[in-house]
Amino acid sequence: MLPGQAAAPDGPNDLTGMFLIHHAFRRDLRRFAAAVTATPAHETRVWRALDRRWRMFGTFLHHHHTIEDAAIWPVLLGRVDPSGRATLEAMEAEHGEIDPLLEACGSGFATLAARPDEDVRRSLEIRIVAAGERLNAHLAHEETEALVLVQKHLTADEWQVVEEKSAKGAYSFRESMAAVPWVMHELPADARKRLLKMAGPVLAVLWRLTRGGFLRRETTAFRYA
């Protein structure tokens, strides 16, 4: 259980990776909302950093949803009862509802990265809150219902296949390197220690190599948060 997490369903599968990603999404949404509220519209350099950071967030979220829609929910659909089917169909539908909210936010960040506009900043303030509320509700729904189905109907071997597909993904080398400090950032100390123990020395080395640059970029983007 990480901060903000709604549930951690028991079962044969290690869902640590799923919960780590959810934690990073929740953290980012909270920080973006604070930044949009507090960053003056004329701080174009900061908005450029926020725009880049928002696009990185969007890359990771799109990848996460793509894996779910392509590799997890379709497998489960053939195994669940009508109630489970309704849950899985809701998962995919919620992805469709979230995407337009995120696109609207992206448009606001891009505009403010190009020029000061207080009206756009105020509009983005409303949109980022709406997007955060919707995505947080979706993550909680997934943790309390959809992941229960994962634990009930997928074997450990099948879940391993999903994790391998997720790890390969469609990330560039640069995005893969960026994912390491992104996931590790603001993890509770006990969770970070457990993750480093599970993942082995390679993760520790990558984190040491990437966290300095990541923190510098975070300081710029979230200067006012």
**Looking at residues 139-164, what average pLDDT do you find?**
94
218's CB contacts (< 8 A; 6+ apart) are 53, 185
pLDDT over threshold 70, residue 33 = yes
* pLDDT > 70 in the chain, percent: 98
**Looking at residues 9-18, what average pLDDT do you find?**
94
pLDDT for residue 157: 92
Are the C-beta atoms of 149 and 76 separated by less than 8 Å?
A: yes
| d(C-alpha 206, C-alpha 16), whole Å | 19
Q: Other CB atoms closer than 10 Å to residue 207's CB: what's the count? A: 19
**Per-residue pLDDT tens over the stretch 166-181:** 766 667 788 889 999 9
| d(C-alpha 157, C-alpha 12), whole Å | 10
**Looking at residues 187-215, what average pLDDT do you find?**
94
**Looking at residues 86-101, what average pLDDT do you find?**
94
- Map residue 180 onto helix, strand or coil: helix
Cα separations in angstroms, 201 against 126, 157, 186, 206, 207: 42, 24, 20, 9, 10
Alpha helices in 72-155 (DSSP H): 73-77, 82-114, 118-141, 147-153
pLDDT for residue 170: 64
pLDDT for residue 135: 97
In angstroms, the first-to-last Cα distance of the chain is 26
pLDDT over threshold 80, residue 120 = yes
Position with higher pLDDT, 21 vs 70: 21
Does the pTM surpass 0.75? The reply is: yes
Alpha helices in 142-200 (DSSP H): 147-153, 156-168, 173-184, 189-199
**Per-residue pLDDT tens over the stretch 53-74:** 999 999 999 999 998 988 899 9
Q: Tokens 């997928």 belong to which residue?
A: 154
Q: What tokens appear for 45 in the block?
A: 């350099």
* Domains of the chain, CATH where assigned: 16-221 (1.20.120)
pLDDT over threshold 70, residue 11 = yes
- Map residue 3 onto helix, strand or coil: coil
Helix (H) or strand (E) holding 201: helix 201-221
User: In the structure, what pLDDT confidence band is assigned to residue 161 with cuts at 50, 70 and 90?
Assistant: confident
CA angle 29, 224, 192 (to 5 degrees): 50
- Map residue 199 onto helix, strand or coil: helix
φ, ψ of residue 6 to 5 degrees: the values are -90, -30
